[in-house]
Amino acid sequence: MAEKKNPQISIAASAIAMRGVRMFLSAGKAAAERRASPKKTRPTKPVVSGNKLHSSVTEILLRKTKFDKNELEALFTMYKRLVTSAQNTAPTSVIGQPAAKIDGIDQNTFRDVMHNTFDLVTEDVVLDRVWLTWERGANGGEGALKFEAWARGLSVLLRGSDDEKMLHCFAVYDLNGDGFITRDEMFTLLKNSLLKQPGDEDPDEGVRDLVELVLRKMDIDKDGKLSYEDYKQAVEQEPLLLEAFGQCLPSRRHAVAFLKTLTNK
């Protein structure tokens, strides 16, 4: 299988080909198809009762994010609006009982923002991993996003350094969190990205070929899997490989457009 490939294919050509594969993703996936059925939650107090950020929270986020005070206040206003909207549309859990209050940004709201605001029209497995990698305290990926986690996550997506963005993407692609991207994980990430042609006897064969091509270009230590060091070195040589296994960052155009909304508040 590997012998059929041109050994002279450059890393850049490979990266471009892989990004081209993802262009076949169906941009017509409706938000309604992406939204999971609302999960039952225990009644909680609304998380956004005040109109302004507490000064202590502002001070923490000024140190831990790349937003200024005005931008943080604009983000908090957006956060309140998203949470309130989710609270108002939450279904009644028991007949005659009020709807359970969502304590933060839930996964459905997060999906909508990533899809509609940042145009992350990506595979469900990738978008689910983006959600799971955002910090949510001791629960380690469970529950809704509180404002501090929301602001820290957006800081990486919108203004993160090269290292921060590489760490974010690697964490998304490392499906089981063991510190490596394996052949099986690559296959899972890429299999929905290929355009299946009518008459293909084994549509998965193209994915397997692509996985082997990726390993030849990115597996620096040749151990059959990608460590973070492998991934980092490959991306530093060819930046197009940053999102080799699926889009998990907004485009520069969408990031700039979003940041402008914060300064226009």
pLDDT on residue 93: 58
In a domain, 231, yes or no: yes
pLDDT on residue 206: 83
In a domain, 17, yes or no: no
In a domain, 11, yes or no: no
User: CATH code at 136?
Assistant: 1.10.238.10
pLDDT, greater one: 256 or 191: 256
Does the pTM exceed 0.95?
no
d(CA 68, CA 49): 23
Strands (E), 89-186: 180-181
Would you say 248 and 167 are in contact if contact means Cβ atoms under 8 Å apart?
no
pLDDT tens-digit series, residues 178-194 = 999 999 999 999 886 66
What's the mean pLDDT in 190-208? 70
In a domain, 213, yes or no: yes
- Is 50 exceeded by the pLDDT of residue 3? no
**Closest residue by Cα to residue 129 from 172, 184, 176:** 172
In a domain, 65, yes or no: yes
pLDDT on residue 180: 97
pLDDT on residue 30: 34
**What does the block give as tokens for 62?**
């000024």
Collapsed DSSP state (helix, strand, coil) of residue 105: strand
- Is 50 exceeded by the pLDDT of residue 22? no
β partners of residue 181:
226
- Segments forming the whole domain that contains residue 160: 50-92+100-263
The count of domains in the chain is: 1
pLDDT on residue 48: 42
Q: Please identify which residue in the block is written with the tokens 């000024």.
A: 62
d(CA 140, CA 172): 14
pLDDT on residue 170: 97
pLDDT tens-digit series, residues 125-178 = 899 999 999 887 655 556 789 999 999 999 999 999 999 999 999 999 999 999
In a domain, 3, yes or no: no
**Mean pLDDT for the chain?**
79
Backbone angles phi, psi at 181, to 5 degrees: -105, 110
pLDDT tens-digit series, residues 72-116 = 999 999 999 999 988 887 666 555 565 556 778 999 999 999 999
In a domain, 189, yes or no: yes
Would you say 88 and 104 are in contact if contact means Cβ atoms under 8 Å apart?
no
d(CA 257, CA 128): 24
pLDDT tens-digit series, residues 216-238 = 999 999 999 999 999 999 999 99
Residues sharing a CB contact under 8 Å with residue 100, sequence separation 6 or more, in sequence order? 40, 41, 42, 43, 44, 90, 93
In a domain, 33, yes or no: no
